[in-house]
Structure formats: structure tokens, C-alpha cells
Amino acid sequence: MRNVYSTFIIAIIIAYSTPILAQGTLSGNLQTRTNFYQRDTLIGASNTPQYDNQLSGSDAWLDLNYSNWGTNFKIRFDLFNNSNLRNPQASYSDQGIGFWQVRKKIQKLDMTVGYFYDQIGSGAAFRAYEARLLAIDNALMGVRLNYDLTENISIKGFTGRQRNFFDLYNPIIKGLSTEGFFSTKIGDEETGTSINLSPGIGVVNRTIDDESMQRIVSNISTYSPADTFTPKFNNYAFTAYNTLTAGRFTWYVEGVYKTKEAISLLDGQLVNRAGNVLYTSLGYAQKGLGITLQAKRAENFQMRTSPNETLTRGLINFIPPMARQNTYRLNARYNAATQELGELAFQADILFKVNKKLSFLVNGSFINNLNNELLYREVYTEATIKGPKRKWKLLTGVQLQSYNQDVYEQKPGVPTVQTIIPYADFLYKFNRKVALRTELQYMNTEQDFGSFAFGLAELTFGKHWTITVVDMVTMNPSQYYKKVGRTVENPDKPVHFYSAEVIYNNKANRIGLGYIRQVEGIVCTGGICRYEPAFSGVRLTANTRF
């Protein structure tokens, strides 16, 4: 019935759009990804429905935005055919309307009905957001009202149920927050220091449904008397936050407290605990120098639609990560996801520009659990050198890491991964239409799969074309084969993970076609991570905006 309803809505849009849209503004985008799977037992690309039987799979999203009569309309069509986004080891197929929204502002009142994304403060108490390639889309389906009490003070309230692909989780989520902005100046009117304050407070309530509560009670009933407790239908999270800007300094601070509720430990046992998060960030900026210091403490701060949900399912909030979001392949292979149950973390980032042609960046991350056991360490250095007339640019540095794979990937007993990764990224412009970019990276480690070397060559020519060739090779082949459980005739033969892709860009259109052979690992976006299995095959992507 849902698919019939979705098809009906799309038919209505197509049938009536011509006369109506002439009066308003229509925009949108289409994103598609199609995988053609090639079974490769050597790298572990096997034993899933896609590799064993289906051989192909697609994901697609069509966003439409229309504005008229002082009202904004949004709708998104989602399609999943033999997709492994929902579960990397399984196959999922469905299609329909994944998002719709009507929004209108009447004087000081901003009204939203349907699905919506939003957050309170940094997101530690509540954040509804989308990271589609990690299968995260926790938009709320409900109503949101935002009212401007004064020119500088607003109040927001919302209620709804969280999206679960084409369904909804049953628990109800409600929130209320108020924010303000106040500015003054100390000293002379022209040369004095401006001070800005942006304070806010908020509360979020989640009410569990009867079915979810029955599952919780059923689990608790199997525990020993010492571990049993009475779960509650309602829990509350209270947050207070403020951004202070004074001259060259910016200081953000937030504290969040969550009332007692049933949360799930790493082994799946439920416990009745309150939680808290403290987060602060201090920044300083002047010409040629930028410094950012961050600190965070989190304890028992799981916030989900219910403790029955795990991994990235049913997330209500987003606790800011405390490790650098690296982009190069080997630098980003081991990434520190936020540990909700317990984390004490610090990060420092310093950018220094000597002149227009030379700059340096140093970043350090220090993350422990609340028992003072190491979770993650990182020291990242980067130097950027630019040639005359912007003819070439070199970006190079080294990264050192300590990564508790036992905790982050839930692999009991494995040693902490220690890496040293030198890297270089060189761009040379032959002329205005032709440029060549190369990457060289080397990961030195004795743990996990062992050391890797990585090389990339990216040729851009004309106005539209880019060709990329990549190879990532094991430097300890026998260690790799042992890790993935493969027996081969020549255990000293390196394993190559190579890729080649052709990309066509023309204004708002981007089409890519490539062959990819990729090692398994953890993929992270904004501090949220998920496991990605090895991939072998052809990938076709298309993106367009209008």
C-alpha cells in the first residue's frame, strides 16, 4: 500500500507540475549509485547475496524542492535495489517516498509539518540528520514550531517519531529549546572589542512504546536479582550551552544531563543509569595563525529510540567526535568513533601560515576511557608549499596513531594498532586545462593487516574529464592472508587493491564509472562509523542538480 501511495504522489506531481511550477521555483538533485559485484574470495568479497547470487545493486535519491505562496515544499524519492547499505552482510530492496515536508512562516511563527532535520546546541542532546552513504537518516516525522519572541530570542518546540527507512520507530520524541543572541562593545566605539553571547537551553523527552517496553522487560527478567531494575517509559535530557565571541577568541561550552534509563552495555546487558556530557571548544584566529582547543567527557550517554536498537539504528543525538576527520585513504583507515558509555578526550589544532606559499598544520588527539585506558592517540602534521604562479602545490606530512581496535571494532583480544604514515599530495598544472595530481602514502604497522602502500594518479583535462588510477598494496602479504583466513600457494605474493575511474563533469552533472577493488574496514563520517566489507567490481555513479 505504501508503494502505491508513493507512486500516486509522484504521478500527481508530474501531472500538475507544469501550470503550478510556472508560478514558483523548483529545484532538486538526483544521486544514484549502482554496483556490479565481482566475487573475489582472496580479499573477502564473497558470501553475501550480492556476490553469490544477485551480482548487482543500486541506491538512488531524488530530492525536489518547490517554493510558492510563501510556502516551501520538499519531497524525496528513495530507491534501494539489492542494497547493502542497511546491512553490509545482507540485501535490502524497497522504494517510496522517504522524506516530505511543508514549511511556512507566518509573521514570527515558522511552522514545519512532515519530516525535518534539526538539532539543539551541538547535537549532544538531540540531532536529526542524514548521512545516506552510512545508512543514517534519523529525520523526525511530526510537527516543529519556531517562534521569534523578540528580535534576539527564539523558542522552538517539536514532536514526532524517528524515521526507520520507509517506516517509523514507535517511541515518541519531543523537544523544547530557546536561544538568544546578545551583543555589546567594550571600549571605544570604533576600536573597542565586540562581545557576542549566544546562549541556549533545551530539554528532550523520549517516551517508549508498549511493544519496545515489553522487549526490555523480557530481557531484564532473565537477569539475576542483583541486576534487575524497573525500566521507565520516559527519559529526559537537559542541556545548556553558550557561544562567546570576544575579539579574536570564540568559546563554546555545553553541558548535558540525561535522567536514568535502560541503556545497553557492549555485551548487550541492560543497566539503569543516568548519563552526562561536557563539551567545550576554544578558538583563536588572527592573520596567519589559527588555534582550536577542544575537550569532552561523556559517561553513559546513549540516546536512542530504545535500548533495543544498536550500532547506527535509532540514534537520537550526536556527540561531537574528538579526532581529526582525515581524508587520505591510509590516514583515514583507523578512525575514532565517539564512545557513548565513557570517554575523556582532548584535541588541539594549530594552523600557521608563514606566507602565501608556505603553511604548517599540527593536530593532536588524546582519547581515553573513564578508567584511564588508552582508546586513541593521533599526531598529525601537514606542510603546504605552493609554487610560483600557482603552477604546483605540495602537501606533505606524517601521521602517528595508536588505535584500540578491541574497543572501536569490538574485536576482543587484538592488540592496539600502532601506525606511522608519511604521505604526500602533489598537484601540477600543465596549463589552464590540464593538471596532474598524485598521492603517495605508506602505513607502517605490525598489527591488523600489516603495512600498506598507496599510490594515486589523477589526470584532469579539458573542461569535463578526470581519470583516476589507484593502487593499494599489502606490504606483509602472509600477515594479510592469515588475518582474512585465506590459504594460498604463494603467501609472499602481495595483494593489490586497485581502482580505475573515469569521471565526466559538465556544469551540474557528474557521472563516474570505475572498477574498484577495496579492502574491508571502518568508514566514518563526522565521527559516526560503520563497518564496510571488502568490495570488488564496477561502480557507476551519477549526480545532477537542477
pLDDT tens figures, 234-283: 999 999 999 999 989 999 999 999 999 999 988 889 999 999 999 999 99
Q: pLDDT band at 530, cuts 50/70/90?
A: low
| Of the candidates 63, 68, 25, 212, the residue with the CA atom closest to the CA atom of residue 139 | 63
Q: How far apart are CA 520 and CA 533, in angstroms?
A: 4
Q: What is the rounded average pLDDT of the residues 522-543?
A: 78
Residue 5: DSSP 8-state? H
Q: How far apart are CA 477 and CA 392, in angstroms?
A: 36
Dihedral through CA 47, CA 53, CA 55, CA 56, nearest 10? -100
Q: How far apart are CA 359 and CA 370, in angstroms?
A: 36
Residue 15 pLDDT > 50, yes or no? no
Residue 40: DSSP 8-state? B
Strands (E), 265-307: 270-286, 289-299
Task: For residue 444, give the amino acid letter.
Answer: N
Q: Which long-range contacts (CB under 8 A, 24 or more apart) does 98-102 make?
A: 98/61, 98/137, 98/163, 98/165, 98/166, 99/63, 99/74, 99/75, 99/137, 99/139, 99/163, 100/74, 100/75, 100/76, 101/72, 101/73, 101/74, 101/75, 102/71, 102/72, 102/73
Q: pLDDT band at 485, cuts 50/70/90?
A: confident
pTM, rounded to two decimals:
0.85
What pLDDT, in 10s, does the model give residues 283-327? 999 999 999 999 999 999 999 999 998 878 899 999 988 899 888
Q: What is the rounded average pLDDT of the residues 399-408?
A: 94
Q: Worst-scoring range by mean pLDDT, 154-163, 183-192, 454-463?
A: 183-192
To the nearest whole number, what is the mean pLDDT of the chain?
90
Residue 317: DSSP 8-state? -
C-alpha cell of residue 365: 588527539
Residues forming a β-bridge with 502: 467, 513
Neighbours of 436 (CB within 10 A): 15
Residues forming a β-bridge with 143: 113, 159
Backbone φ and ψ of 427, nearest 5°: -115, 130
What pLDDT, in 10s, does the model give residues 48-85? 999 999 999 999 999 999 999 889 999 999 999 999 98
Q: Worst-scoring range by mean pLDDT, 99-103, 294-298, 389-393, 464-468?
A: 389-393
| Of the candidates 493, 494, 511, 492, the residue with the CA atom closest to the CA atom of residue 502 | 511
DSSP 121-155: TTTTSEEE-EEGGGTEE--EEEEEEEEESSSSEEE
Strands (E), 408-484: 417-429, 435-443, 452-461, 465-474
Which residue's C-alpha cell is 567527557?
297
